[in-house]
A and B are shown apart, each in its own frame.
Chain A
Amino acid sequence: MPFFTEVSVDQILFALLNGTIYGLLLFMVSAGLTLIFGMMGVLNFAHASFYMLGAYFAYTLEPLTGFWMAIILAPILVAGIGILVERFILRHVHEHGHAHELLVTFGLAVVIAEIIKMVYGKFAVDYRVPVELNFAAFSLSGIDYPFYRLLMGGIAIVMFVAIYALLTKTRVGIVVRSAIYRPQMVEALGHNVPVVFMGVFGIGAALAGLAGAVAGAFYTTNPNMALELGVMVFVVVVVGGLGSMGGAMAASLLIGITNSLAVGSDFRIADLMAFVGMGGWADDIGGLLTMRMSSLAATLPFFIMLLVLVLRPSGLMGEKE
């Protein structure tokens, strides 16, 4: 039995590219989550709901404004909602501690999902990639690579660079970063810290909204999309280290690529044991030992999270507190 099934270079190339782009999408959503956590210490359960809102807003706006305007306007609307949430809900419960904030955002996620179901119905809506963007970027051994995927990846990279530059190279970034560590000091220097927090929350929500507006057209826009991506986004943020932007990027790519490679692999633990002459025994035992890697692919991120939490509880790039 071959240790690895025969795969061509093209296939591995595709798997890497697929994984990278999926990872970049995960990053787009988790960037806002990790930003908000880093600053306010709030793990925002409703964050993936902003992703969903972005998709539905873009779907609603597209017939009126066209696709490009829709994906620009949708995140702005989501940012507005994010700001309202911070100003009128989170700020009120802030004094009661983190547990309350957590519960409020959890409730918010449920409420948003139900409102979406009431307004748009229970099933997927027909938000699709516009025809003029729906073409193959290139073709490798008979399989097309959709241009739109590259576009999604490109938008994520531009976003990463922009946030990174904003936080490290500008005055606003300096104020934001210092507000994270020494809010009282920053306030004493005459900066309005609550407004800074509100702004960052809004930007975090907008990033998720942008991801939703772009990815909703490629995947599906349905009332469950927050739930589907939400879990993965938490895994990314935990693996990357809560509050670390670079960590979120690294973890997103790690999860995207391992997932993509695992799907293409028929590797079984029994094959590994065959090297020490125990292959037959493992085949007889069956169960987990003969499970193909490909059918475990969606479980791998959770395994990675477990591993990271055991070996390095603060995450790949998180700072020890």
Chain B
Amino acid sequence: MALVLGAATAAQAEPLKLALVETLSGPQASTGLLYRDAVKYQIGKINEAGGFGGAPIELLEYDNQGGPVGAADRVRAAISDGADVILQGSSSAVAGQVTEDVRKHNLRNPGDEVLYINLGSEAMELTGAKCHYYHFRTSPNAAIRVNTLLDGMSEAGVLGDKVYAMNQNYSWGIDVQDNTAAAADRLGFEMVEKTLHDVNKIQDFSPYVQRVQAAGADTVITGNWSNDLLLLMKAAGSAGLDVRFGTAFLDQPGNIGNAGAVAEGHFLSASFNPEVNPEKTDAFMEDYKSVTGHYPSYVEPTAVFGMMLLQGALKQVEPTEDGLNASDLAAALENASVETPMGTLSMRGADHQAILPMIVQEVSRNAKHKSDGTEFGFVPVKVISAADAEQPVQDSCQMKRPG
């Protein structure tokens, strides 16, 4: 019966289902909700252009409640609801769980594979020891972030000789620390000390600031996000400490507003800046605002670009009777590339890591687009091309390809 029905309706195949498994409630929901805005925005674009296989794409939303346990459960639910692609981005700890679950599902269900598009979890292991054929990372990773940041700061002459690595004690923070240490010889700085601390538990960072001061550091390189970044920066500011921060997530909404002048002169390496390529970027910014009600910032542009890459790959894929053959999409994604307002974003086949341009930027009063209604914003210091930002494939990635 099902077979007959399937054959009869082959002309209008089942709609493609994308499942967003994000943190949509609880303390870390703010970032998850930004991912939702970005994904919804670009799916709207895809559907305006005709969707996939003649039908609009469906977006299913699942709340992973911020942790790997919730994510494992939600991924199972998404797959049983018929999701073809899992989307996630806001935590490397969650991503580690999701990618393993997807890998195991695909091992056990050949012919019924599911793809995992990682829109923003940047721990190295995801394209390293844990890499597999059905995982694709469309955002930078820790090596790209840290090396572009250090290169840009070094070139601008603000890196200094003594660098302190202050990071959160989990996969992402450890990666930032390791990559900072690895760049010491190349860029000729001394890594005076490194600290790993608990994630989003610390209220009072003044003891940590005291350590930075005692180490005599010129620069603090940190992968911290959310309160861990804000409180660290404010504590350093109120102690009158003369250090410059090099960060990965300073552009999170609220940070500049809360830190105020304390943030001035600090650096960020990110895959978006509103002042780069204004002829294309302005149109993107305005269109995004007209759809979502706010300008794209923080993780949103990169998530949109990741979805654009998926859109490009979907064009290369023929819909099948039951919607989509995930292996076809994976094959198309492996060599996909797309023009974003920032430049070319392309997928590297060897480890499924995106290669994309990075912008090293500084918090300054001269920014055209101000953050959080303050007088400060991010001014691009150096645009690093996708080719220059690229970091080598990790040896630990042993990808098994189908067939």
Interface residues of A (CB under 8 A from B): 7-8, 11, 14-15, 18-19, 22, 25, 121-129, 134, 136, 139, 142-146, 148-149, 218-224, 227-229, 232, 256, 259-261, 263-264, 294-295, 297-299
Contacts and interface: CB of A to CB of B under 8 A. Distances in A.
Contacts of A299: 198
Contact of B231 (A19, A139, A219): A219
Given A126-B374, A143-B239, A18 B258 contact: no
Given A143-B210, A219-B203, A232-B203, A295 B231 contact: no
B372 interface: yes
A126 B169 CA distance: 28
Contacts of B203: 22, 25, 219, 228-229, 232
Given A124-B255, A295-B197, A298-B202, A228 B169 contact: no
Contacts of B196: 295
Contacts of A7: 214
Nearest to A113: B27
Given A18-B210, A259-B207, A295-B197, A139 B240 contact: yes
Contacts of A259: 204, 207
B30 A122 contact: yes
B50 interface: no
A126 B257 contact: yes
Given A144-B239, A146-B238, A294-B197, A124 B258 contact: yes
Q: Which of A122, A125, A232 has the most chain B CB atoms inside 10 A of its CB?
A: A122
Q: Which of A14, A122, A123, A261 has the most chain B CB atoms inside 10 A of its CB?
A: A123
Contacts of A298: 197-198, 201-202
A127 B234 CA distance: 12
Interface string B200-216: 11111011111101100
Contacts of B374: 126
A295 B30 CA distance: 26
A224 B27 contact: yes
Contact of B195 (A22, A223, A294): A294
A139 B30 CA distance: 38
Contact of A134 (B214, B238, B372): B238
Contacts of B234: 218-220
A187 to B, nearest CB: 41
B66 to A, nearest CB: 11
Contacts of A219: 203-204, 231, 234
Nearest to A26: B203
A121 to B, nearest CB: 8
Nearest to B169: A295
B240 A264 contact: no
Contacts of B213: 142-143
Interface of B: 27, 29-30, 33, 169, 195-198, 200-204, 206-211, 213-214, 227, 230-231, 234, 238-241, 252-255, 257-258, 260, 372-374
B266 to A, nearest CB: 16
25 contacts: A11-B214, A123-B30, A124-B257, A124-B258, A125-B258, A127-B258, A134-B238, A142-B213, A143-B239, A144-B240, A145-B239, A149-B238, A219-B204, A219-B234, A220-B230, A220-B231, A222-B254, A227-B27, A228-B203, A256-B204, A259-B207, A294-B195, A294-B211, A297-B197, A298-B202
Nearest to B196: A295
Nearest to B25: A114
Given A224-B227, A264-B210, A297-B197, 20 more contacts: A8-B214, A22-B206, A122-B30, A124-B254, A125-B257, A143-B209, A143-B213, A144-B239, A148-B238, A220-B230, A220-B234, A220-B258, A222-B254, A227-B27, A229-B203, A256-B204, A295-B196, A295-B197, A297-B202, A297-B207
Given A123-B253, A222-B254, A264-B211, A128 B198 contact: no
A7 B401 CA distance: 55
A263 B208 contact: yes
A222 B195 CA distance: 25
A263 B227 contact: no
Contacts of A122: 29-30, 33
B223 to A, nearest CB: 15
Contacts of B208: 263
B195 A295 contact: yes
A128 B259 CA distance: 8
A124 B231 CA distance: 11
Contacts of A25: 203-204
A148 B237 CA distance: 13
A125 to B, nearest CB: 7
A263 B196 CA distance: 10
A220 B372 CA distance: 15
Nearest to B199: A298
Nearest to B33: A122
What are the nearest 3 A-B pairs in CB distance?
A: A123-B254, A144-B240, A298-B198
Contacts of A260: 204, 206-207
Contacts of B214: 7-8, 11
Given A144-B239, A298-B198, A126 B258 contact: yes
B198 A295 contact: yes
B254 A125 contact: yes
Contacts of A139: 240
Nearest to B241: A143
Contacts of B204: 18, 22, 25, 219, 256, 259-260
Q: Which of A136, A224, A264 has the most chain B CB atoms inside 10 A of its CB?
A: A224
A239 B244 CA distance: 39
B173 to A, nearest CB: 10
A261 B372 CA distance: 36
A233 to B, nearest CB: 11
A42 B196 CA distance: 38
A128 B258 CA distance: 7
B255 A126 contact: no
A166 B234 CA distance: 36
A236 to B, nearest CB: 12
Contacts of A19: 207
A17 to B, nearest CB: 9
Contact of B240 (A15, A136, A149): A136
Contacts of A218: 234, 238
